[in-house]
Chains A and B, each alone.
Chain A
Amino acid sequence: MHRSICDFALDIIQNSIEASSGLIVVDFIESDEDVVVYVADNGPGMSAETLEKVKDPFFTDGKKHAHRSAGLGLPFLAQAIELSGGSFEIDSREGMGTSVQFRFSKEDIDSPPIGAVDMTFFAALTFPGDHEMVINRTDSTKVPTSSYSLSRSELSEACGGLETSGALVLLRRFVRSLEEKTGMRSEEATDSFKN
């Protein structure tokens, strides 16, 4: 089971990448009350029939692992949401793409901690593929509200690709610097919720 909101976010982002989407847009919005994550892609999408089954842990489309009958990413999320009184929405259209939005309340003791946001964006941006990814981060717990955006293609150009350790070191420093400057990163990053 995932430990943090960032774990859930990364898992959902990876679903979009592995669905061969050309464009993935992520919004990670934090306020005093809650954390809202929105992931939208222009991948192949799902039929209404498939969409009905995605919260079933014993359902998978069989494309990633032909001999398995489990798909746990979305069921994990649905379960955590149910336990903590958050919200979860998924919308998908065949040939158009899929969007997932989920919200965890900061007030609920069963909500998971936020986790390390910079590490999550770093992992999401460096997952291999030719896709574009845009990540929009907003934190309104501070005054004034802090925000920044990351574009995978821009970062790849600036770092000289996203595969060699030299490039990844630069990207890691860059993303960490954004979180630190905006006051979004702290030593308590993994324990920033009340539980």
Chain B
Amino acid sequence: MAKMTLEELRKLRDEEKKGLSRRNVENKDTQIIIGMGTCGIAAGAKETLDVFVQTLEECELSNVRVTQTGCMGLCYVEPTVEVIVPGMPDVIYGKVDAEVARKIVRKHIINKALINDHIYDKPSADIVGEGGAQ
């Protein structure tokens, strides 16, 4: 990969804008919030963030909000990630390594199905039982 300049970056942004797909409009209120406190960093949250961005690119989702926050209070299951998708319960996932991050994008965000075995907070057990899909 050749070294990019800021000017090339701006140009690339303009090109990407033109190619926005319909899926991007649909996902404009979707949020991924990654816990990047000391505990998260120690558990690999930096790599988790990287995989999320990479997977969103592969899936051509350019309108998802991806942000970071500090410790969410679930240090024992870091890296932790909160996922907000309109029409679905807000979820905090734990132990989000690269594989789980890819699953979150493909299953939760695109296919609207929860990843039950990594949920550590938010939806109650009956919600997971009714609507979740492994």
Contact = CB atoms under 8 A, between A and B. Distances in A.
Interface residues of A, number: 44
Contacts of B66: 126, 163-165, 168
A4 B9 CA distance: 29
Interface residues of B, number: 39
B41 A177 contact: no
B4 to A, nearest CB: 4
Contact of A126 (B9, B57, B68): B68
Nearest to B57: A169
A158 B36 contact: no
Given A160-B13, A166-B16, 17 more contacts: A10-B36, A11-B38, A73-B38, A119-B46, A122-B50, A126-B66, A126-B67, A158-B10, A159-B9, A164-B63, A164-B65, A164-B66, A165-B62, A165-B64, A166-B62, A178-B3, A178-B4
Interface of B: 1-4, 6, 9-10, 12-13, 16-17, 20, 24, 36-39, 41-42, 46-47, 49-50, 53-54, 56-57, 61-71, 73
Interface of A: 1-3, 6-7, 10-11, 14, 18, 64-65, 72-73, 76, 116, 119-120, 122-123, 126-128, 154-155, 158-160, 163-170, 172-174, 176-178, 180-182
Listed from nearest, the 9 A-B pairs whose CB atoms lie closest are: A166-B62, A181-B3, A165-B56, A165-B64, A169-B57, A177-B4, A158-B9, A73-B38, A177-B1
